[in-house]
Structure 1
Amino acid sequence: MNILLAVDGSEYSARVVEALLTFSARLREMPKVHVLYVHLPIPIGFATRHVAREIVDAYYHEEGLAVVQPVAERLRAAGLDVEQHVRVGSPGETIANAVNDLECDAVWMGTHGRGAVTQALLGSVAARVVALAHRPVTLVR
């Protein structure tokens, strides 16, 4: 079983990690977990006027790894097989695309992200994933 675990560094992401660990302990076979962080894109025209594309890409990668690595380490310590992923894009669509790209059987994610303002601007990422993923989605409060 392949599970996509979408994280953003919020309290809700921490809750999802703990819920997934509790769930996986009950399984006969440990799932492979793909830990994914989706970085919102910086307007490239603006960014590239001031910094090189390589610097922007390095920024995305560093910011994403800062969120993904502690989660991956926690899961590995519990005996799970983990892969780390950082992608850039609209979170709901990017998570749904990653489910297909990584051939995942299910998605686990929190019901809320990093902030109410972001949620209001982007709409509910969780609702978007449920609508687009075509796989079971487990939402944790």
Structure 2
Amino acid sequence: MKKILVPVDFSDCSVAALKAAINIARSFDAKILALHVIHDPADAPGFYASQKAGKKVFRNMEDSATQMMEEFAGKRLRKYEKHECYVRPGIPATQILQFAQKQKVDMIAMGTHGRGGLDRLMLGSVADRVIRSSDCPVLIVRDGQKAAKDQDGGDAAQDD
């Protein structure tokens, strides 16, 4: 295993997935590729803006996401040097899958909010789409609290 992709949305789920990926990466001396996908607001239903205004909104989103990624990664990946961070525009599941294929990653480790039922049907699930379409194994980590507990309730993960 040489490359592990960790899609990041800055949530506790992303933190848990990143921690799991770091543990695996250390075992294999693998590189972590952290990816944040900015969903272009122009693709959102009901978003109407002039082309100029839309580009300005997107540029601001991109600048903000890049800064957030630097802070997120700087805080959590400072002790693991073999990493790279990326910010890409697009539809999250599509970009994650394309990025994984282009970078030839060996595994995707991603968090999920664990939505179910009607929420999942209405909103869809990025994790679900990635699992169903990925060419490589996908490790799913539910959320920070659940990921840090063993079946017996003992601590399984440590905060660095």
TM-score by length of 1: 0.80
Mapping of residues 65-76 of structure 1, within 5 Å: 65-76=66-77
5+ long unaligned stretches in structure 2: 143-160
Question: What is the alpha-carbon distance in structure 2 between the residues aligned to residue 41 and residue 17 of structure 1?
Answer: 24
1:88 aligns with 2:92: no
The equivalent residue for 2:22 is 21
Q: Distance in 2 between matches of 1:2 and 1:123?
A: 27
Number of equivalenced pairs: 137
Tell me the C-alpha RMSD between the 2 structures: 2.7
Equivalent residue runs for 1:1-141 within 5 Å: 1-25=2-26, 27-29=27-29, 31-43=30-42, 46-49=48-51, 51=53, 53=55, 55-112=56-113, 121-141=122-142
- What TM-score do the two structures reach when normalised by structure 2? 0.71
Q: Counterparts of 2:31 and 2:39 in 1: how far apart (Å)?
A: 26
Question: Runs ≥4 in structure 1, deviation > 6 angstroms?
Answer: none
**CA-CA distance at 1:79 after TM superposition:** 2.4
Superposed CA deviations along residues 62-120 of structure 1, whole A, max 9, x for unmatched, are 2322432233214542223222111122211111111012221111110228xxx9855
What is the distance in 1 between the residues matched to 2:12 and 2:96? 19
Which region of structure 1 is more displaced relative to structure 2, 82-91 or 67-76? 67-76
**CA distance, structure 2, for counterparts of residue 126 and residue 46 of structure 1:** 28
Identity across matched positions, percent: 27
Inter-CA distance 48–84: structure 2 relative to 1 (3 Å threshold): farther
> Which SS does the other structure have where 2:40 is aligned?
coil
